A = this chain, B = another copy of it.
Amino acid sequence: MNYQVDETHDPHLASWVASAVGHPDFPIQNLPYAVFHRDGAGPRLGVGIGDYILDLTAVAELELLDTILAAALRAETLNPVFALPAEARRDLRRRLSVLLSDAACRSVLEPHLFPVTDCLLGLPAQIGDYTDFYVGIHHATNVGRLFRPNAPLLPNYKYVPIGYHGRASSIRPSGLPVIRPNGQRKPPNAEPPDFGPSQRLDFELELGIWIAESNGLGNPVPIEGAQRHIGGFCLLNDWSARDIQAWEYQPLGPFLSKNFQSTVSPWVVTPEALAPFWRAQPCRPDGDPRPLPYLWSESDQKQGALGVQLEVLLSSSRMRKERAEPVKLSQTDASNMYWTVAQIITHHASNGCNLNPGDLLGTGTISGPTRETYGSMLEISRGGAEPVGLPTGEQRSFLEDGDEVILRASAQVEGFARIGFGDCRAIVQAAPAL
For the complex, give the distance between the alpha carbons of A127 and B256 in Å.
19
Evaluate contact between B352 and A169: CB separation under 8 angstroms: no
| A6 CB-CB contact with B under 8 Å | no
Given A253-B252, A356-B169, are A182 and B260 neighbors across the interface (CB < 8 Å)? no
| A-B contact sample (9 more), CB < 8 A, given A252-B253, A256-B353 | A128-B168, A129-B167, A144-B251, A154-B250, A159-B193, A167-B353, A182-B220, A260-B351, A260-B352
Interface residues of A (CB under 8 A from B): 128-129, 134, 144, 154, 156, 159-160, 162-170, 172, 179, 181-184, 186, 192-195, 217-220, 241, 244, 247-257, 259-261, 289, 292-294, 347-348, 350-356, 359, 432, 434
Question: Which chain B residue shows the least CB distance to A160?
Answer: B248
- 24 A–B pairs (Cβ distance < 8 Å), ordered by A: A128-B169, A129-B167, A129-B169, A144-B251, A154-B250, A156-B184, A156-B248, A159-B184, A160-B184, A164-B164, A164-B255, A165-B259, A167-B353, A170-B354, A179-B218, A181-B352, A193-B292, A219-B432, A249-B251, A253-B254, A256-B348, A256-B353, A257-B351, A259-B353
How long is the Cα–Cα vector from A154 to B179 in the complex, in angstroms? Answer: 29
- Contacting residues, chain B, for A352 (C-beta < 8 A): 170, 179, 181-182, 260-261, 432
Beta-carbon nearest neighbor of A134 in chain B: B252
What is the CB-to-nearest-CB distance from A177 to chain B, in angstroms, rounded to a whole number? Answer: 9
Q: Which residues of B contact A348 (CB under 8 A)?
A: 256
B247 contacts A170, CB within 8 Å? no
Chain B residues contacting A167 (CB-CB under 8 Å) are: 129, 165, 353
- Whether B255 pairs with A165 at a CB distance below 8 angstroms is yes
Are the C-beta atoms of A289 and B192 separated by less than 8 Å? yes
Give chain B residues whose Cβ lies under 8 Å from the Cβ of A217: 169-170, 172, 179, 261
A258 CB to closest chain B CB, in angstroms?
9
Q: Which residues of B contact A249 (CB under 8 A)?
A: 251, 253
Residue of B nearest to A163 (CB): B255
| Minimum distance in angstroms from A400 CB to a CB of chain B | 18
Closest to A165 in B: B165
Do A248 and B162 touch across chains, with their CB atoms under 8 A apart?
yes
**Contacts of A355 on B, CB cut-off 8 Å?**
169
In the complex, what residues of B have CB within 8 A of residue A353's CB?
167, 169-170, 256, 259-260
Which applies to chain A's interface (DSSP): helix, strand, loop or mixed? loop
Distance (Å) between the CB of A387 and the closest chain B CB?
25
Q: Across the interface, do B129 and A351 meet the contact criterion of CB distance under 8 Å?
A: no
Q: Which 5 A-B residue pairs are closest in the complex by CB-CB distance?
A: A253-B253, A181-B351, A165-B165, A164-B252, A252-B253
Closest to A431 in B: B352
B-side contacts of A218, CB under 8 Å: 179, 432
- A156 near B432 with CB under 8 A, answer no
Complex CA gap A259/B134 in Å reads 17
Min CB distance A351 to B, Å, is 4
Contact among B179, B252, B351 for A183, CB-based, below 8 A: B351
Q: Are B194 and A163 in contact (CB under 8 A)?
A: no
Q: Kindly provide the distance from the CB of A239 to the nearest chain B CB, expressed in whole angstroms.
A: 11
Q: Which residue of B lies closest to A159 (CB)?
A: B193
Report how far A292 CA is from B351 CA in the complex, Å: 39
Q: Does A432 lie within 8 Å of B165, measured CB to CB?
A: no
Most buried by B among A162, A194, A252, A292: A252
Complex CA–CA separation, A251 to B179 (angstroms): 26
Q: Which residue of B lies closest to A256 (CB)?
A: B351
- Which B residues are CB-close (under 8 A) to A254? 164, 252-253
Given contacts A154-B251, A168-B129, A251-B253, contact A220 B432 (CB under 8 A): yes
Chain B residues lying within 8 Å of A163, measured Cβ to Cβ, are: 252, 255
Nearest-neighbour CB distance to chain B for A200, whole angstroms, equals 14
Contact A247 B169, beta carbon cutoff 8 Å: no
- A257 / chain B contacts, CB cutoff of 8 Å: 351
Query: Which residues of B have CB within 8 Å of A293?
Result: 195
Contact in complex: B156, A250 (CB < 8 Å): yes
In angstroms, how far is the closest chain B Cβ from the Cβ of A128? 6
Q: How far is the CA of A261 from the CA of B353 in the complex (A)?
A: 7
Nearest-neighbor residue (CB-CB) of A254 within chain B: B252
